Amino acid sequence: MRGRILAARRLGWLGQLTGLLGGVAVVLLLTTVLVDVTLRFAFSKPLPGTIEYVSFWYMTAIGFLGLALAERHGEHIDAPIVFDRLPGPIRRELIVIAKVLFAVVMIAIAVWGWEEAVRQWEIGERGAAAGVVLWPARFLVPLGAAACVIEIAAGLLVRQHVSRSDENISSGQVADGRKSKTGEWMLRLLNYGLPCLVTVLMFQDQRRETIGALGLGLMLWLLVMKIPVAIAMIASGGVGIWALTGLDVLGSTFRTVPFSSVASWPLSVVPMFVFMGLLLWRSGATERLYDASRHWLGWLPGGLAVGTNFAGAGLASISGSTLGVTYALGRIGIPEMLRHSYDPRLATATILMAGTGGQLIPPSILLVIYAGIASVPVGVQLLAGLLPGIILTLVYGILLVTIGVAAPRLVGRFPETDRGAIRSSWLQRWASLGRVWPLFVLAIGMLGGLYLGFFTATEAGAFGAAGALLVATLRRTGIRSAVGKALGDTVKTCGAIFALIIGATVLSRFLTLSGVASWMVRTVSDLDLSRYQFLFALLAMYLILGMFLDSLTMILVTVPILLPILQSLDVSLIWFGVFVVLLGELAVVTPPVGMLTFVVHKITQAKDIGINREIKLGEIYAGTLWFIPISIAVLVLLIFVPEIAEIIPRMSGQ
């Protein structure tokens, strides 16, 4: 056993090395863009080859070298819809199957990626604009995929040891006689037999649309079984392309799609925004922003909740991760509100909803990813989310103040004793503002540059990342550790995100080849649905999907399918980006499931945050009912008044 663990550690060194190289690529990307912007403004001479170096070299390095690091730290996104309810032995088997399927996909990318790299080497591939040598960057694709396979193998060795060590415990928990064993085998037959049957049917003499529908069914089943979302999309899309067109076309897809999906100038804003958000978080911006919000807004009825709401919006805009904001803010805000006698329902619901509007306020990772999938300008998409995000944040703030006035005991205010009001001196307020003013300067600089056309989205991201580095430096303590951890987290996060984008591209190509997209357009046309009827139907669909999937997964899985329909109904793709991100954020908090509610419930159970009472899941659900109607009202307003999302891009001339 010990030998296997040692072997796993030896195998894992390559993942660490690729992660380190990916971090170097993040620094080079940031430096190159900043130098280019400086030369352009100071001397009207941009740095030659910036787009080629950033898109083809640095983005490829970050995306593919981050795959192994993301695998090591469990960053690849999955959707365990029914997985947690399965017996222990079947869960362990599915984990192994997921790893093996992941490895098979990575091997395919490595083999076909190597062939394409060699071909480009032989022809001496160069950039069309500046003549930058590009062919060596092609070898980063098979290198990153191979490192990921090695990391998967190392993980399987360790898992085999752990599984054997707790085999007696697990078997004792799940084996309750012959009935239990019979049930397990029935589940195995269903879990493993159904996808095999669907795969076989896809290779029979079927209509193209039927193969497309079977492929979508296969993808959904893989998602249910906790296969990483990216792998579920790549595997089902790849099998579908093979069934439709043969192995040669599948090989052509795997030779070109992984590289072209990641080597993208518009998507280069993603690592910059991620690095900026992580660096600010690592440098303590979460606590400082929350503290400032509490001091300035605590005097209002429900002021602590209002401050939490605005702090959450600010944090969500810079981090791009609803889960991360909820976790970070929940560990600070829930104990603080309960300490001031807030009703647990309101305290937990405030944390749940705090980041919703912020996901629309630039910089928004979700809007950037949507823009990449929908092929719309990133800068315009970011500006489109600004006003709706501000409106939603303000509406939540007004709601919390209204609750504080109408039911003061819910916010810990007891008029008969004057207990519950949070009082801060002006000295405390200005001192707290002095600790966060760089964040406001950073936001204004980024948004102003985008609005006035001084920056592209990538350049705004580089400006923000450089500003975050300066903010972290001003702290003077722990800067080296904060930067190092932020770089590592950026690489593994981007590795997971770009794997999803590759999966969405493969799936989109399969849907186009199968004719499913065209069939859906014809079906909607035959139903004679108006724009409003279709959007209201989408609202219901996303609320259901939010019971099982996070917002990023929903966007990646559904947008490639919906794009042709949206275009046929003349729905603005810029507007729809704002609509779908807001809808996805609302869906993950909506009862009867709402994935994010479980995260908050888990936070309340943590012993180290000092909550001295049990908060039931039903209380968290009840709290969201204050927010959901008004959130849906904002969505409906967005449907009937689309100018809310379109006015700022129009005013900026973009």
Q: 440 and 312 share a domain?
A: yes
Q: 578 and 635 share a domain?
A: yes
Q: Is the pTM of this model over 0.85?
A: no
Answer whether residue 510 is part of any domain: no
Answer whether residue 143 is part of any domain: yes
Q: 216 and 363 share a domain?
A: no
Secondary structure E strands in 483-606: none
Q: 208 and 302 share a domain?
A: no
Q: 315 and 243 share a domain?
A: no
Answer whether residue 489 is part of any domain: no
Answer whether residue 501 is part of any domain: no
Residue 442, domain extent: 269-475+515-651
Domain boundary among 214, 234, 263: 263
Residue 549 — very low, low, confident or very high, per pLDDT cuts 50/70/90?
Answer: low
Residue 523: what pLDDT?
79
Q: How many CB atoms lie within 10 A of CB 567?
A: 12
Q: 284 and 324 share a domain?
A: yes
Domain boundary among 222, 243, 263: 263
Cα gap 148→502, rounded to integer Å? 15
| Among the listed residues 451, 456, 464, the one whose alpha carbon sits nearest the alpha carbon of residue 37 | 456
DSSP code, position 47: P
Q: 447 and 369 share a domain?
A: yes
Q: Give the least confident one: 221-235, 330-344, 511-525, 589-603.
A: 589-603
Q: pLDDT of 225-273, one tens digit each?
A: 888 889 999 999 999 999 999 999 999 999 999 999 999 888 898 898 8
> Do the Cβ atoms of 565 and 524 come closer than 8 Å?
yes
Q: pLDDT of 329-340, one tens digit each?
A: 787 788 878 888
Answer whether residue 178 is part of any domain: no
Residue 413 — very low, low, confident or very high, per pLDDT cuts 50/70/90?
Answer: low
- Mean pLDDT taken over the chain: 83
Q: 258 and 275 share a domain?
A: no
Q: What's the one-letter identity of residue 284?
A: G
Answer whether residue 509 is part of any domain: no
Return the structure tokens found at 3: 């030998």
| Residue whose entry in the numeric block shows the structure tokens 């193969």 | 211
Cα gap 52→58, rounded to integer Å? 9
For the chain, what is the domain count?
2
Run of H or E residues at 353: helix 344-354
**What CA–CA distances, in Å, run from 195 to 199, 232, 305?**
6, 12, 47
Q: 529 and 647 share a domain?
A: yes
Cα gap 365→461, rounded to integer Å? 11
Domain boundary among 211, 228, 263: 263
Whether the predicted pLDDT of 72 surpasses 60? yes
Length of the chain: 654
Q: 281 and 211 share a domain?
A: no
Q: What is the mean pLDDT of residues 376-403?
A: 91
Q: 73 and 189 share a domain?
A: yes
Q: pLDDT of 133-155, one tens digit each?
A: 999 999 999 999 999 999 998 88
Answer whether residue 420 is part of any domain: yes
Longest dimension (CA), the chain: 83
Answer whether residue 174 is part of any domain: no
Q: pLDDT of 139-198, one tens digit each?
A: 999 999 999 999 998 888 766 654 554 444 344 444 444 556 777 788 888 888 889 999
Q: 246 and 366 share a domain?
A: no
